[in-house]
Amino acid sequence: MRAHRVFLIMVIVGLFLSCGLFNRSNQRGEVTGIRSQKIKLERPFGMTYIKGGSFNIGTADYGMIELGDFNPRTVSVSSFFIDQTEITNGQYMQFVRWVRDSVARDMLARQVQELGADSQSDGIGQFAYQNFSDTESLTEYQQYMIEQYGQDFPGSSQINWDAPLTWDFNAYPDQYYAQVMDSFYIHPSKWIKGVPKLDVKKFKYRYISSQQDQPSVDTNVPNSFLNYEPFISEKVIEIYPDTTVWVKDFFYSYNDPMHNNYFWHPAYTDYPVVGVNWHQANAFCIWRTQIKNSYNLSRGELTVPQFRLPTEVEWEFAARGGSQNGIYPWGSNELTNRRNQFLANFKPDRGDYKADQVLYTAPVKSYLPNGYNLYNMAGNVAEWTSTPYVWNNAEYIPSLNPNINEMKDDRKVIKGGSWKDVGYYLRISSRDFEYAQSARSFIGFRTVQDVPQNEPF
């Protein structure tokens, strides 16, 4: 009897407590979910919104099947953003200079540490790590993390971006600064005509990545989760483009002016970047995401999804411009318009050379865009995709967002054809490959970004 009373008292107390909780909420005991504030997602700069849909991938030209064309099949693709143009020399130069300056500032800060100086010191001291010498400015979280993990946890030692960095020899603040900056140049004995030359191999971008082709769950063991650590690694990428591709790709051609001027000269700022391998293109995507999210976090705004290379299917869906007709992005089967002008930058027959055709690459907004307002989805430069190049069988291609997640295959699909290619490679369905570590004078890239399912467009 006593046990029943105790149980009854517990039930009554529980009811009173629960009633109190209900009275303090507006949910009336219902599971209504956590309500979030409605937001308007930002359209990424220079990108076009591609609404997802279905289309027939591949080609019916079985005479060229040995080149690896897909057999036709209907597939569906989720919505995404994609760059209107190929990534330009100017955009990639911004990446190069950011990496160059960040490496320099980090080396200057390490030198300050070795000297035992701090941010209050003159000369090189102004480049001290922001969170290393001024412990009073640390948040409670940062103080805890330093005590728990030391100075190695991310964000513990932030480089100082406010101190003015100079590359002018005559403006160096002291000899310690000169010592660090001197390490960025090749040995003076190798300067051409006495002109200092930066050692671009020092421009290395570091980031953390995961092996996407590795499973996170061991399906052979019920309720077993694998350790993520073996699949997470730090990557260090030399990011300066290989400007020698203009000479190496065409050994018996006089392409020295392109080798000497193409990447850095202001005349080529709006031309597509080339000489960038697949790993460097991915590093650019990581950096672009980092820059945007760092800015958003500083303003208390939401972070954006990862910028990345498009899958082969995404690229083909975007190249079609919303049309199912035509083998080229402009929706027809012809390479010229009614005035007999070429509709893309590619290698036509020698006898059909026209005055409007360029010899090498063209500015990224040359020629008319396709139905999605995307420029040069055919010609100019071929473009890296994230998809490994394997022989495909339509029977094994999934119908929803198909992609081959085989990261160990160093052959990566390139699409679109280039300024040096014949018309066949300009077809939307044509596909070729290049090795991920290879850089070419005819391969560039553009990026995409996922769109949340709550699409605002």
- Mind giving me the DSSP string for 216-275? SB-TTSTT-B--SGGGEEEEEEE-S--TTHHHHSSTTS--HHHHHHTTTSGGGTTSBP-S
Q: What is the pTM (predicted TM-score) of this model?
A: 0.85
Question: What's the burial of 320, exposed, middle or buried (CB within 10 Å: 0-12/13-18/19+)?
Answer: buried
Give the integer Cα–Cα distance in Å for 388 and 407.
Answer: 7
Confidence at residue 63, expressed as pLDDT on a 0 to 100 scale: 37
One pLDDT digit (tens) per residue for the chain, 457 residues: 555 554 444 444 454 444 544 455 566 778 877 776 666 777 899 999 999 998 887 654 433 433 444 456 788 999 999 999 999 999 999 999 999 999 999 999 999 988 887 666 778 999 988 764 456 666 787 778 777 776 566 655 678 888 999 999 999 999 999 999 999 999 988 888 888 999 999 999 998 877 654 544 555 555 555 566 666 778 999 999 999 999 999 988 899 999 999 999 999 999 999 999 999 999 999 999 999 999 999 888 888 999 999 999 999 999 999 887 789 999 889 898 888 888 999 987 544 444 455 789 999 999 999 999 999 999 999 999 999 987 555 456 778 887 777 667 899 999 999 999 999 999 999 999 999 999 999 999 999 999 976 565 5
Place of tokens 């940062």: 142
Sign of CA dihedral 332, 333, 334, 335: positive
307-308 sheet: strands from edge to edge: 47-50, 80-83, 448-450, 307-308
Give the integer Cα–Cα distance in Å for 209 and 212.
Answer: 9
Q: How many CA atoms lie within 13 A of 446 on its CB side?
A: 30
387 neighbors 448 (Cβ within 8 angstroms): no
Confidence at residue 246, expressed as pLDDT on a 0 to 100 scale: 96
* Closest by Cα among 351, 344, 334, 362 to 417: 344
Read off the tokens for 419.
């300024």
- The CA–CA distances, whole Å, from 245 to 48, 86, 373 equal 31, 18, 30
Place of tokens 């009633």: 19
Q: 3-class DSSP state for residue 100?
A: helix
Confidence at residue 198, expressed as pLDDT on a 0 to 100 scale: 92
Q: Taking CA 412 as the corner, what is the angle to CA 93 and CA 246, rounded to the nearest 5 degrees?
A: 45
**Segments in 262-362 forming alpha helices (H):** 278-298, 312-319
Confidence at residue 67, expressed as pLDDT on a 0 to 100 scale: 41
Confidence at residue 21, expressed as pLDDT on a 0 to 100 scale: 47
Q: How many helices (H) and strands (E) does the chain have?
A: 9, 12
Which amino acid is located at 181 in the chain?
M
270 neighbors 365 (Cβ within 8 angstroms): yes
349 neighbors 373 (Cβ within 8 angstroms): no
Q: Taking CA 426 as the corner, what is the angle to CA 375 and CA 390, rounded to the nearest 5 degrees?
A: 110
Confidence at residue 157, expressed as pLDDT on a 0 to 100 scale: 62
* Element spanning 181, H or E: helix 175-182
